[in-house]
Structure 1
């Protein structure tokens, strides 16, 4: 599916087009578009606040949120970085020097705050008592049930009324602590409400009414990417958004695909002919390999009988015995 992004600040658009695939990490390209686009869409709705992320790695998703941010808003990056003893489940390995190089390489501003800490220590450090201030809070840190619950409570207490929380790996079968933590948080009375599911991330709002407004905002911002609406999840309804091939639009009117994604609409006739030729060659190679495998499947003793009968003769009784035991016909 081909889709157009909303118009994005040039720094964001440039990062998506040419930088996203260069930064190491785990982030679906479509989800990068959704994070970037909804950050901008919040501004059009006059939703004011900073952005934050727990779990940075090299900054792949943090850059989607922080690039092009208004100068009077802060972007807070939280990670244990070098203190890997606090990375209890090995769910990532933040590298601060690499992260800072990526910030500089892709044009992040001076409004970045880096906090080296386990999220389990944030409340004791006074992070929560600073008050509600985030319009987007991304959770991608430890993936255990305990840490996920902790991070959701931290986000609930620091996100502004019209803000949103993004929970990573909620349906990832390798990290079932995340969905266990989500259900534990909701069962304990957590007020965040599931609203939108994008590839590998769940977006939660601060109330049922706000969840409905975010579903409407996503529909207006990404009108061609809705895959399924009104899907029940944990007692709420969420809208599911698809993976797509995106043409990224910047404020300077430049439009182009995300590096590594080759939309069909941009493939020339010559390129299509080249791909068809590669497919024919691959099929021919496969056929040759199949013939070799069939030839190799000829029993070894038959080859020996033909090529070296004086060596094959003594082992024939053994093969006959093996075939008899296995119930195979002589």
Structure 2
């Protein structure tokens, strides 16, 4: 999605309760642009929707006959063993009606561990994993995603290195060790992006282009570097230590950026 449109759509959804940063949306928008430039088409899938903040952003990435499918326990919170999120189906459906005018998104209301590729289909170009946060739950979702995406698609993992969710970190490392064909591409804004090694260069070249990052609002104050993870070349977005206690100048810049002033 073109960056101005992506930013506009994200800000239209800003009142929806959830944990989906604008920078994460813009990173996904950049990767969506790479897919579009390379004629990569396919459906999108999301595990864990809460009230639909990220879901409805993904909806706006759809082109033509592409579809968005989601999975969430919603009212079956007794099965939410890791207590990660608490999706509300009525709020989700109300947000769908409010922001996209219909409830056409296909919902699998069940444990994601019970999903199969035969049930949800394959050929996805994006698969967002934000469901159960235990090791077992996250690993099962990653393994499902790996089976369901196109070879040139991407897996987006939420909460990859949060101290309160160590199971997700353990699952990411275990998955990467057991999946030599998958490479960690980039981490930042509470997302870890994974891709097949055959298309790594296509995505990494776009990310390494500073003009692309700046265009998508991922330049200053964010720093960018490459570091090794499980023997692979990972791109990292991060806030430099010197900027973690922002100066007045940075606070003014952030305020103007938030309100779209250039």
Equivalent position to 1:65, from 42, 50, 58: 58
Equivalent position to 2:81, from 88, 106, 120: 88
**Distance between the aligned counterparts of 2:10 and 2:82, measured in 1?**
29
Equivalent position to 1:210, from 194, 199, 202: 199
- Kindly indicate whether residue 108 of structure 2 is the aligned counterpart of residue 120 of structure 1: no
- What is the CA deviation profile of residues 192-251 of structure 1, one whole-angstrom value per residue up to 9, with x for unaligned ones? 2100112111000022x32222112234432463722321112111112357xxxxxxxx
**Distance between the aligned counterparts of 1:19 and 1:79, measured in 2?**
20
1:164-183, aligned counterparts within 5 Å?
A: 164-183=154-173
Unpaired segments of 5 or more residues in structure 1? 244-260, 269-330
Structure of greater relative contact order (alpha carbons < 8 Å, 6+ residues apart): 1
Determine if contact 1:71/1:109 at 8 Å carries over to the other structure: no
CA gap of 1:267–1:104, structure 2 versus 1, over 3 A, is closer
**CA apart distance, 1:109:** 6.2
CA gap of 1:48–1:266, structure 2 versus 1, over 3 A, is closer
Specify the alignment match of 2:213 in structure 1: 222
Between Structure 1 and Structure 2, how many residues are aligned?
Answer: 240
Specify the alignment match of 1:320 in structure 2: none
Q: Secondary structure of 2:157's partner?
A: strand
- Superposed structure 1 runs of 4+ greater than 3 Å apart: 5-9, 108-111, 264-268
**Distance between the aligned counterparts of 2:108 and 2:180, measured in 1?**
25
Equivalent position to 1:133, from 118, 123, 139: 123
Specify the alignment match of 2:188 in structure 1: 198
Determine if contact 2:84/2:131 at 8 Å carries over to the other structure: yes
Unpaired segments of 5 or more residues in structure 2? 240-253
Determine if contact 2:128/2:156 at 8 Å carries over to the other structure: yes
What TM-score comes out, normalization by structure 2 length?
A: 0.82
**CA apart distance, 1:94:** 0.7
**Distance between the aligned counterparts of 1:266 and 1:53, measured in 2?**
29
1:23-62, aligned counterparts within 5 Å?
A: 23-62=16-55
**Distance between the aligned counterparts of 1:190 and 1:154, measured in 2?**
16
Specify the alignment match of 1:234 in structure 2: 230
